[in-house]
């Protein structure tokens, strides 16, 4: 989520991240994470993002802030499991993603539409 101020309300946070702020904490689907401190203090983006493991990165020169996805285990992805797809390399040979297990892989996709 890209925002121009860290002073946002719970509705804006919900719209950008899918996390609903409730008395029991931040909830998404059946998962609720206690936020602590009570709801009477109002919504605080920095505290909430920290509790959910979301990175908050600010570019003060541009006047924008980015709030990353939740990462309870320290990983930004919800899952690190990719499907085993087969693609053709530049020489026309089939390469399965699982053949590259344990190596860093960059997938570049392009479409004419």
- Residue 21 in any domain: the answer is yes
Split into its structural domains, the chain has a count of 1
Asked whether residue 32 is assigned to any structural domain, the reply reads yes
Asked whether residue 111 is domain-assigned, the answer is no
Q: Is residue 99 part of a domain?
A: no
* Residue 58 domain flag: yes
Determine, yes or no, domain membership for 7. yes
Residue 17 maps to a domain? yes
pLDDT of 72 reads 66
> What gap in Å lies between CA 22 and CA 35, rounded to an integer?
9
Which pLDDT belongs to residue 37?
A: 64
The pLDDT of residue 24 is: 87
For position 60, what pLDDT does the model report? Answer: 86
How far apart (Å, rounded) are the C-alpha atoms in residues 107 and 65?
27
- 61 within a domain of the structure (yes/no): yes
For residue 6, the enclosing domain spans 2-67
- In tens digits, the chain (113 residues) has pLDDT values of 999 999 999 999 999 999 999 988 999 988 889 987 654 457 999 999 988 988 898 888 889 999 988 876 655 544 556 778 898 888 999 999 889 888 887 777 777 76
Distance CA 111, CA 71 (A): 30
pTM reported for the whole predicted model: 0.60
């Amino acid at each position: 989520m890209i925002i121009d101020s860290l002073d946002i309300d719970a509705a804006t946070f919900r719209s950008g991240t899918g996390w609903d702020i409730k008395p029991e904490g931040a909830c998404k689907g059946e998962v609720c994470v206690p936020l602590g401190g009570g709801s009477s203090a109002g919504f605080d983006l920095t505290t909430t993002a920290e509790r959910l493991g979301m990175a908050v990165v600010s570019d003060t020169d541009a006047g924008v802030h980015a709030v990353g996805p939740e990462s309870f285990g320290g990983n930004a992805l919800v899952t690190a499991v990719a499907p085993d797809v087969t693609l053709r390399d530049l020489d026309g040979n089939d390469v399965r993603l699982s053949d590259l297990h344990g190596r860093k892989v960059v997938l570049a996709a392009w479409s004419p539409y």
